[in-house]
A = this chain, B = another copy of it.
Amino acid sequence: MTSLAWSFMTSFLTYETNKSVVVKSWSVGIINRLVQLMIMSYFVGYVFLYERAYQEADTAIESSVITKVKGFGKLNNVVMDVADYIYPPQGEGVFSIITKIITTHNQFQGTCSEIGDSFNCSTNADCAKHLSSVQANGIITGVCNTSCGSCEIEGWCPAENDQVQIEPMAEFVNFTIYIKNSIRFPLFSVTRGNFNSTINNCTNNKLTDPFCPIFRVGDILTEVNQNVTTLANNGGEIGIVIEWRCNLDRDVDLCVPSYSFIKLNAPFENNISKGYNFRFAKYYKTADGTDFRSLHKAYAVRFDVMVTGTARKFSLIPTVINVIAALTSIGMGTVVCDLVLLNCLKGAEQYKKKKFEEVSEAQILASITPSPGSQMSVRQGHDSCCDSGAISLSVNY
């Protein structure tokens, strides 16, 4: 029993190493070292230093954005403040600054003809036909007002005339947008804000004050090459991108945002750009309780604060994987050298003889007369399997 354990231990505690041929040749030696140098340069220079493959990345950034706009403008001889021109009012990450409003006052439920519809009817059937061709969603039936010869439809009347020319609120370029952004990288539990206590009364400027969280609308429009007059008239969509690129292996205070601005309309530029507008209504009651409303078609500049980010930090698993890849591929450099040594060098045949020991089945079979019992051979086979060391260990045990 103990002798069995002893022999097991003896065969287990062996060490198997490759038998090597060391070629003392300057030509192959130089090639060998050059190949190794190239592989190492790729891994050290590109993989580790440039791409920082020893780090783990977190792109699933959690973000909360609060905005606040300041400024006064004048539209239709009415002074507008924040409560008048910001939609929605709560200071969200997506908000619109209204630059022009076409208001249709005192709309009551009733029947009236649509503005700009020059169709002349004589019967209700005419109108049904006409209206279904004009509006795809024409579920509202029309009635022909025979006195004036136009189709009248049920709805809020008078109908909106959105072709009215109105001077937009030009002052919006001087408005300022304050952005408060707090983020978190859940993988690394790192929380950051987009400014710190030293920032006070400031205006963001790419060169002189890149961390100030207050942006002048005009500066943003200049940066995206947006024509201010067109924008004020038609509305538009601007993206404010806050980008966090954080290397958490360095001081976390270096994890600061960078701001950039994009025309969100850019991918659609081939189209006739129609700007951005939306409709909303204000509701009133007459003294006798009848509901009426004023309809507002608001042309607005919509700002979309988009937060994106990547944090990177040292992580053991990618590091080990890449180190192993580096060492393995240095080992693979021998493939190149072998090709040279065994094919191109003077004396290749001699090198081949040194490197390769041939055994053919015929030789082996000739040498075994008579063949040993298969049982014994299997048991010995097992023992020597243990000798095959590293890799076969993971197979046998």
Contacts and interface: CB of A to CB of B under 8 A. Distances in A.
Contacts of A84: 281
Given A186-B308, A285-B284, A278 B90 contact: yes
12 contacts: A12-B33, A15-B31, A18-B355, A19-B354, A58-B59, A82-B279, A136-B176, A324-B328, A334-B389, A343-B378, A352-B380, A352-B381
Contacts of A94: 90, 92
A155 interface: yes
Given A331-B390, A342-B381, A25 B15 contact: yes
A15 B295 contact: no
A264 B182 contact: yes
> Which of under 10, 10 to 19, 20 to 34, or 35 or more describes the interface residues of A?
35 or more
Contacts of A15: 22-23, 25, 28-29, 31-32, 334, 337, 341
B24 A342 contact: no
A384 B342 contact: yes
Interface stretch (A121-129, A219-227, A357-365): A357-365
Contacts of A51: 317
B364 A347 contact: yes
A22 B14 contact: yes
B351 A364 contact: yes
B137 A174 contact: yes
Contacts of A270: 196-197
Copies in the complex: 3
Interface in A320-372: 320-322, 324-325, 327-335, 337-339, 341-344, 346-352, 354-361, 364-365, 367-368, 371-372
Interface string A269-312: 01100001011111111010100010110001010101010100
Given A197-B270, A328-B324, A350-B364, A20 B20 contact: no
Nearest to A24: B360
A29 B14 contact: yes
The 9 closest A-B pairs by CB, nearest first: A193-B267, A13-B29, A343-B381, A197-B270, A347-B364, A71-B137, A59-B60, A89-B280, A83-B281
Contacts of A62: 239, 241, 306, 308
Interface string A108-143: 010000000000000000000000000111111000
Given A348-B377, A388-B338, A19 B19 contact: yes
A10 interface: yes
Contact of A59 (B59, B368, B381, B391): B59
Given A36-B390, A71-B137, A342-B384, A350 B331 contact: no
Nearest to A89: B280
B342 A332 contact: no
A223 B191 CA distance: 18
A330 B33 contact: no
Contacts of A230: none
A17 interface: yes
Interface in A14-71: 14-33, 36, 40, 42, 46-47, 51, 53, 58-64, 66, 68, 70-71
A348 B24 CA distance: 21
A15 B105 CA distance: 92
Contacts of A344: 378, 381
B393 A36 contact: yes
